[in-house]
Amino acid sequence: MAQYYRYEDFCLCPHGGRLPAGAIPVEAPFEPLVFLVERDPLKNRGLFAICSLAELDEPEGAGLLLPPSEETIASELESWVQEHGASVVNTAFFRWFSVLTAYFARAKTNMRVNVAGMGNVGGTTALGLKLLGSDLSVIGIYDRDENLCLRYEAELNQVLPARDEEPLPNVRIVKEEELLDCDALLFTAARAVPEVGAEKGLDVRMMQYEANRELLRAYAKRARESDFVGLFCQISDPVDQLSRAVFLMSNQNEQGEFDGKGLLPEQVRGFGLGVMHARADYYARAEGVSLESLRVYGPHGNGLVIANAPNAGYDAALSRTLTHKAETANLFVRSLGYKPYLAPGLSSAAISVLRALRGEWHDAAVPLGGVYFGCRSKRGALGPEIRREKLHPELTERISESYRKLEEFNRKWAD
């Protein structure tokens, strides 16, 4: 028998999770209803939305991309959840309530975003945010190169709106200690970007992991110490693996032990899949593939999965061709003698982050069973949501294989 409690403005329903002190019993559920669970924080989500009780106890992992079970036990609570929806929060995380409160109170307009790293990608991202972010109030920019910041502050504040009455966000230089005073931090800084010609057949993105992870460590620690409740947008490569690293490092104490007192997994999103979707669209047009049926999953790099259709009409050969072309599109630009940063800075970063902040569907790496896996998702009214649909068995196997590779990477770097 479910029990309900009022705590501040929330209706809490314990489902293995701990109630906060001061919660008052109530007789019936009310909105917003939040189920409290307590699960392994290294392998389970911290906050998500459900529309059926069948989703409350689902196994974590790539299976969450498939439709939830339709087998439910008829009950008043099931009917209530189907009608109103509910949130699920993992009380194994120390800051679960402050993050939950901030999520429900998050702004829809006058949002503040900060960009850390004003290199090629960061500069392009800031330009995209300036032109497209009419619902932003301020874009903060930070780089250790002071002149670079002064240049972008001056130039971006001299950009006219496309329409006379359309407001454009102000661009201001922020100090390093101010970076987390925002709704979203966009981390584009990189310590190791291979020069053109240095690839030698290797995955350019993975060549950057160790150096960029160490660069992120101080920012993950600062997010922990400042009780940051916003969104940490990981953009520098390798996106998916570094998203996991940010989450882990923010939850480590001085002895390097995981204690769950840092960022919830949903506070970190990896923004690298947007450009892979855009590249897939580019090549799909030439093949006559419907862009509406196109699907993109997995990491920004090796392990990418593109499908011409999710289920009916799935063509394995065509899908693998599209995957290969999108996965190596950056190498084509490099072969011309240029670093490929325009499309990533706009499609993966500026556009996808704006869609995320607006609660719209977008491409991003999100936590699934301890792995940050790229898929279509949104930050819904009651919590993060994932697009779930029937998938062709061959496509399901490709996704599972990509997921296993990321799990293997996690195990390797956990040693």
User: Same domain, yes or no, for 52 and 156?
Assistant: no
Task: Count up the domains in the chain and report the number.
Answer: 3
CATH number at residue 196: 3.40.50.720
Tokens (6 digits) for 138: 């301020």
Angle of helix 146-156 versus helix 120-132 axis, rounded to 10 = 20
Domain boundary among 104, 126, 155: 104
> Considering only 68-72, 121-125, 298-302, which range has the smallest mean pLDDT?
68-72
Residue 116 shares a structural domain with residue 265? yes
pLDDT on residue 165: 86
Q: Are 198 and 81 found together in one domain? A: no
Query: How confident is the model at residue 13, as a pLDDT?
Result: 98
Q: What is the mean pLDDT of residues 359-385?
A: 98
Domain final position from 270, 288, 315 = 270
User: Which of the listed residues 245, 270, 295 is the one where a domain comes to its end?
Assistant: 270
Residue 283, pLDDT score = 98
Same domain? 114 vs 209:
yes
166 and 114 share a domain?
A: yes
CA distance 145 to 159: 22
Statement to judge: residues 246 and 280 lie in one domain: no
Q: pLDDT digits over 251-268, tens only?
A: 999 999 999 999 999 999
Q: What is the mean pLDDT of residues 354-376?
A: 98
- My answer on whether 373 and 298 are in the same domain is yes
Domain shared by 48 and 129, yes or no: no
Is there a contact between 68 and 46 (Cβ–Cβ < 8 Å)?
A: no
Residue span of the structural domain in which 206 resides: 108-270
pLDDT at res. 413: 81
Give the pLDDT band (50/70/90) at residue 207. Answer: confident
| CATH number for the domain that contains residue 374 | 3.90.110.10
Average pLDDT of the chain, as a whole number: 95
| Domain co-membership, 302 together with 394 | yes
How many CB atoms are located within 10 Å of the residue 412 CB?
8
Taking CA atoms, 175 is separated from 115, 138, 221, 255, in Å, by: 11, 14, 17, 28
Q: What is the pLDDT of residue 67?
A: 97
pLDDT score of 362: 98
pLDDT over 60 (residue 415): no
Specify the pLDDT at position 194. Answer: 59
246/259 same-domain check: yes
Where do runs of H (alpha helix) occur along 184-313? 209-225, 239-250, 273-287
Of 379, 325, 371, give the one whose Cα is nearest residue 352: 379
Helix (H/G/I), strand (E/B), else coil: 208: helix
Q: Tell me, yes or no, whether 203 and 264 share the same domain.
A: yes
Q: Quick one: CA dihedral 115, 120, 125, 126, positive or negative?
A: positive
112 with 196, same domain: the answer is yes
Instruction: Summarize pLDDT for 127-153 with one digit per residue, the tens.
Output: 999 999 999 999 999 999 999 999 999
